[in-house]
Structure 1
Amino acid sequence: MADPTEESRPEEAEEDGGGPVKTFLEHLEDLRWMLIKSGTALLVGMIVCLYSTNKVVSILKWPLERAALIQVGHKQKVLVKLGEEDVFSFQPATNHIGPLDLGTNPLIILQIKPVEEGTNIHFVARVEKDPPSSERARSATDLVYFDPAAPFMSSLHLAFFAGILLTAPFIFYFVGEFVLPALKIKEKKYLLRAFGVGVGLFAAGVCFCYFIIMPRALKFSELFALWMGIKVPEWRAETYFGFVTKFMLGMGMGFELPVVLLALVKIGILDYKKLSAMRRYMIVINLVLGALLTTPEVFTQIMMAVPLQLLYEISVWIAWYWERKEKLREAQAGSQDY
């Protein structure tokens, strides 16, 4: 007669175990191929992004153009154009230049056109007090390079980070091919859920930074420089691109906080009481993360710390819900035993 414990072993192995048992060298071989495939995917993504650097630059310049549309206070900016070319811009002390009334809009276009009359050329000035938003976006701070090698190095920098974002699904897939066979079925379920939520939160953090925080942070930097008495008609392009990419990636990584905390709750390292007791410390930690993952200024630091603290509070309440649900399940199981 067969031993019933032996019959249940395959089922237990199927429930608990992962893929086939491999030797150490076989694991190293799998790791090598995972790194090769991930590196190849990243290299292909970098080549694609390097070929499309002009489009990547246009995407990264959008927050700067959006910042030009934000009006703070009553300061005006006059953009002087010769024909269709932008010549320079300045901020008048008042909304009057001699007899010329500039109105109250934040951007005024002073267009100068040459008119030929016989052998003489006259310049005719026309004031556009309510230019379209496309013209206002063109008045954004210019990006310039001051180093002959800067455009090439900057394009490599952009291609690297854009390549990571572009090939991230493939890299995660290759990593999953390497890790998932060794996990138990229950662990696979939790990991796949965490992966889906983590990808969504990372994308939400990047989009939140790109569409909401970044234009306001750039506007704040410009206004702060003007408050110091320093004009900012131009910024170094490589510095700007580094700021934007670092800020967006930092915000995306910061939005992964609930995944890490709730994973620790599932493991048993943290619980609702511990998370509640850590609230005051998390405020300081989020401010430190805001300083490390963004530029070292108070405005962007606070703008990143606030959503991180909100995500922490959401994690605390999810942990409370899980703990309450587990207690109810245990109470129901205890009542059924009696």
Structure 2
Amino acid sequence: MSLESEGMSVVDHLTELRKRIIYVLLVFVAGLVGGLFCARPIYNYLISADIAQGFVLHAFSFWDGIGMYMKIAMTVSLVLSIPFIVYQLWAFISPGLRPEERSATLRYVPYVFILFVLGIAFAYYVIFPMALSFTISITRSMGLAETYGITQYFSFMFSLVIPLAILFELPLLVMFLTKLRVLNPLRLRKMRRYAYFALVFIAVVITPPDFISDFLVTIPLLVLYEFSVFLSAIVYRKQLSADAERESRYTQPKSR
């Protein structure tokens, strides 16, 4: 292959990547517009939920209300865009996959949305109330006057909910990389101690600084990792079986 053809191949790949990024941005902007229409009912739900009862939220700047609506709209857009983002990623790398890998990985796309929504639900209904209760108890134990801004409240919420929702994609990511033969269960078991350390570190960073909160977040993350190893083992066994069948087909002597 000549250098010119290789250069054209690189240019073609960059052009394709730019096209995929433009598609993602267009969908994200469309989701952002739709999210702005949904922002008010979502805000009313979040404020009227049991978690927010007893709070009087304040605006400390003229932009607090708009900023809160934008945060909600961006979250809605992210939820709606994630399956499309994953599909565009698959479309970009699919030419380098075998036909069976291409069809198998495409099936993962709907589960990206499901796992992300489950992660949001777990973070909002389990982790966020726990973290909020802890921080409020510390504030009251110090005898401080409670004056909460709407920006601080929603920033605190989204800083917990969004990272955990993304981490819920771990099993799917591991299955995808196993399908591409980048990972396998043997490698995942060998790196378990490092993965555990990373997950514990993430749990400590995104939760309030107390042992109970760290423990309650760490356990689901470790379970997610072990579930990822289990799913990787299933995919890996199927790959070994397919490889053995393919090898036996080629090595079997042909009948005259």
In the superposition, the TM-score normalised over structure 2's length comes to 0.75
Q: Is the 8 A contact 1:46 1:159 kept in 2?
A: yes
Per the alignment, do residues 258 and 328 of structure 1 end up closer, same or farther by CA in structure 2, a change over 3 Å counting?
same
Query: Which residue of structure 2 lines up, in the alignment, with residue 305 of structure 1?
Result: 218
Per the alignment, do residues 296 and 38 of structure 1 end up closer, same or farther by CA in structure 2, a change over 3 Å counting?
same
Query: Which residue of structure 2 lines up, in the alignment, with residue 44 of structure 1?
Result: 30
Shift of 1:309: 0.3
Output the CA distance in 2 between the equivalents of 1:305 and 1:312. 11
Output the CA distance in 2 between the equivalents of 1:325 and 1:183. 17
Per the alignment, do residues 208 and 273 of structure 1 end up closer, same or farther by CA in structure 2, a change over 3 Å counting?
same
Output the CA distance in 1 between the equivalents of 2:188 and 2:95. 32
| 2:187 is equivalent to residue 187 of structure 1 | no
Per the alignment, do residues 320 and 187 of structure 1 end up closer, same or farther by CA in structure 2, a change over 3 Å counting?
closer
AA in 2 matched with 1:151 = G
Query: Which residue of structure 2 lines up, in the alignment, with residue 158 of structure 1?
Result: 72
User: Which structure 2 residues correspond to residues 245-256 of structure 1 after superposition, within 5 A?
Assistant: 245-256=158-169
1:287 is aligned, of 187, 200, 216, to 200
Q: Is the 8 A contact 2:203 2:218 kept in 1?
A: yes
Output the CA distance in 2 between the equivalents of 1:47 and 1:28. 29
Structure 2 unaligned blocks of 5 or more: 1-7
Output the CA distance in 1 between the equivalents of 2:31 and 2:112. 22
Q: Is the 8 A contact 2:199 2:218 kept in 1?
A: yes
AA in 2 matched with 1:194 = Y
AA in 2 matched with 1:199 = F
Output the CA distance in 2 between the equivalents of 1:323 and 1:227. 53
Shift of 1:302: 3.1
Output the CA distance in 1 between the equivalents of 2:14 and 2:237. 43
| 2:108 is equivalent to residue 206 of structure 1 | no
Deviations 1:34-88 (A, max 9, x none): 33332222222222222443223224335xx4236xxxxxxxxxxxxxxxxxxxx
Shift of 1:307: 0.6
Per the alignment, do residues 316 and 44 of structure 1 end up closer, same or farther by CA in structure 2, a change over 3 Å counting?
closer
Query: Which residue of structure 2 lines up, in the alignment, with residue 35 of structure 1?
Result: 21
AA in 2 matched with 1:238 = T
Q: Is the 8 A contact 2:64 2:151 kept in 1?
A: yes
CA radius of gyration, larger in: 1
Output the CA distance in 2 between the equivalents of 1:197 and 1:244. 24
The sequence identity of aligned pairs, in percent, is: 25
In the superposition, the TM-score normalised over structure 1's length comes to 0.59
Output the CA distance in 1 between the equivalents of 2:95 and 2:112. 21
If each structure's strand is expressed as a fraction of its own residues, which one has the higher value? 1
**What is the root-mean-square deviation of aligned Cα atoms in Å?**
3.4
Per the alignment, do residues 327 and 287 of structure 1 end up closer, same or farther by CA in structure 2, a change over 3 Å counting?
same
Q: Is the 8 A contact 2:58 2:150 kept in 1?
A: yes
| 2:51 is equivalent to residue 61 of structure 1 | no
Output the CA distance in 2 between the equivalents of 1:323 and 1:33. 33
- Paired positions, count: 241
AA in 1 matched with 2:33 = I
Q: Is the 8 A contact 2:79 2:116 kept in 1?
A: no
Structure 1 unaligned blocks of 5 or more: 1-21, 69-136
Shift of 1:308: 0.8
Q: Is the 8 A contact 1:143 1:235 kept in 2?
A: yes
Deviations 1:183-208 (A, max 9, x none): 43122123213333333222211111
Shift of 1:325: 6.4
SS of the residue 1:153 aligns to = helix
AA in 1 matched with 2:122 = F
Query: Which residue of structure 1 lines up, in the alignment, with residue 3 of structure 2?
Result: none
